[in-house]
Amino acid sequence: MTSFPEAARIALGDSQLRHNLRNATTTIRDKRARVVAEVPDWDELREAGRAIKADVMRRLDEYLLQFEESVQAAGGQVHWARDGAEANAIVLDVARAHDVTEVVKVKSLTTDEIGLNEALAAGGVHAIETDFAELILQLDGDWPSHILVPAIHRNRSEIRDLFMRTIADGRELSDDPRELADTARLYLREKFLDAKVGVSGANFGIAETGTLVVVESEGNGRMCTTLPPVLVTVLGIEKLLPTFADLEVFLQLLPRSSTGERMNPYTSLWTGVTIGDGPQEFHVVLLDNGRTRVLSDQVGRQALHCIRCSACLNVCPVYRRTGGHAYGSVYPGPIGAILTPQLRGVANAKSLPYASSLCGACYEVCPVKIDIPSVLLHLRAQTEKDVAERIAMRSLARIFGNVRLYEWAQRLARAGEGPARRVPGPLASWTQTRDLKPFAKETFREWWSRERGA
């Protein structure tokens, strides 16, 4: 994977992207701040969310078995997948069993994480994304750059051109958002009515009842989970909640943190199969794909508390400038910087824990209080350091460990400083864009000795 600094450099050069990101994240961020300020017990809600999730992680083995039992009792079928390949094969088997070449899909990061669409395509099944933004990306062969607003990096004139090329049936379109939405709606309605198999992720799975919950804005999720006679849901194992009553906490936390709404427009809940109503065949695939490994790390496991609201992206000064693609994963921003290295192994994403100035804005807004800066530091400690850096840092530690060495190093640094405004070595990247502060002519300790003695 391309390193973050390299990918970021390319993204930073795209002024249209910078403009789109700034506008969109500022709007959502301000909306969130307004609706969160309305809730007098917001901090207690966050603490409740954190506590419920921490309990789920501690007793995940029990909750998973309880969930399986509940789903089966309600007439659903439960599958277990160790990784993406197993999950993809299960979904493909269901599609094949019903002899379909198309399935309709609800927006789902989990299925993006495992590359389900590509795996289905390789098996001869076309997965149609029905979320407006996901559809835009799919039609253009692009991929999401934001958890909530996957096409945040695109603007409406780009979307108009794309629709004219793809789904408008030769009609002339303007870049009016309503007209663009109507064009997508017309295309998607036919797909919903024809579909025999629907595929979804889920925001929550309730261990007590076997209920699945999808929270969305557009209504396409409701269509996908009710119209096709067969439904397959891919659920990351960390998405469980113990009881139905726990939803009370999360259905307050999620919409306010995510879209900045008091309540989201559509919340779909279903439990197994109901005769004569909705899908008559229901499968749920419980996906591990690295999550058990994350769970085994006592500090890092809080990344599994994430409810995918994306509040941390919208306040992150790094994300707001680089956009999501720089993070090289379907999980961008601060949460991606701690989740991706853990899911894939730190060695496979070693620049991500450093893709943060540790400003702490993410921790402040997280609805389940994930201490992202602390997890970043925890992961930095696990990355393999390059040799030159390791030698430099060890030497510095030795110098800081002995005040005589430290004072000697101060004098040496000052003596070695030339008049150059651009310095070589590891600090060169500083002086490319910033003037370097010269060493003080007299250190504080020299001044203290001169003035106060001792």
Question: Which C-beta is closer to another protein: that of 207 or that of 338?
Answer: 338
C-alpha span between 77 and 373 (Å, rounded)? 40
Question: Which C-beta is closer to another protein: that of 186 or that of 381?
Answer: 381
Q: Whole-number minimum distance, CB 250 to another protein, in Å?
A: 25
Question: Which C-beta is closer to another protein: that of 12 or that of 167?
Answer: 12
Q: Whole-number minimum distance, CB 445 to another protein, in Å?
A: 6
Q: Whole-number minimum distance, CB 47 to another protein, in Å?
A: 18
Question: Which C-beta is closer to another protein: that of 247 or that of 326?
Answer: 326
Q: What are phi and psi of 288, to 5 degrees?
A: -90, -70
Question: Which C-beta is closer to another protein: that of 276 or that of 419?
Answer: 419
Q: Whole-number minimum distance, CB 129 to another protein, in Å?
A: 30
Alpha-carbon dihedral 266, 270, 273, 277, rounded to 10 degrees: -30
Residues that bind another protein (CB under 8 A): 4-5, 8-9, 12, 18, 317-318, 321-322, 351, 353-361, 363-364, 377, 380-383, 385, 389, 393-394, 396-397, 399-401, 403, 406, 410, 413, 426-427, 429-430, 432-437, 439-440, 442-445, 447-448, 452, 454
Q: Whole-number minimum distance, CB 312 to another protein, in Å?
A: 13
C-alpha span between 132 and 327 (Å, rounded)? 23
H/E element, 1: none
Q: Whole-number minimum distance, CB 160 to another protein, in Å?
A: 29
Q: Is 176 helix (H, G, I), strand (E, B) or coil?
A: coil
Question: Which C-beta is closer to another protein: that of 58 or that of 394?
Answer: 394
Beta pairing class for 102-105 and 197-200: parallel
C-alpha span between 91 and 390 (Å, rounded)? 46
C-alpha span between 4 and 113 (Å, rounded)? 19
Q: Whole-number minimum distance, CB 14 to another protein, in Å?
A: 11
Q: Which CA distances in Å does 5 have to 84, 91, 103, 327, 385?
A: 28, 36, 38, 10, 16
Q: Whole-number minimum distance, CB 408 to another protein, in Å?
A: 12
Q: Whole-number minimum distance, CB 295 to another protein, in Å?
A: 22
Question: Which C-beta is closer to another protein: that of 262 or that of 394?
Answer: 394
- 454, exposed or middle or buried, with CB in 10 Å at 0-12, 13-18, 19+? exposed
Place of tokens 């994350």: 294
43 Cβ contact list (under 8 Å, min separation 6) = none
- 425, exposed or middle or buried, with CB in 10 Å at 0-12, 13-18, 19+? exposed
Question: Which C-beta is closer to another protein: that of 182 or that of 447?
Answer: 447
313-327 burial by CB neighbour count: b if 16+ within 10 A, else e? bbbbebbbbbbbbbb
Question: Which C-beta is closer to another protein: that of 10 or that of 73?
Answer: 10
Question: Which C-beta is closer to another protein: that of 126 or that of 447?
Answer: 447
Alpha-carbon dihedral 18, 24, 26, 32, rounded to 10 degrees: -150
Residues forming beta bridges with residue 206, ordered by sequence position: 241
Q: Whole-number minimum distance, CB 150 to another protein, in Å?
A: 22
5 Cβ contact list (under 8 Å, min separation 6) = 351, 355
C-alpha span between 112 and 143 (Å, rounded)? 9
338-368 burial by CB neighbour count: b if 16+ within 10 A, else e? bbbbbbbebeebbbbbbbbeeeebbbebbbb
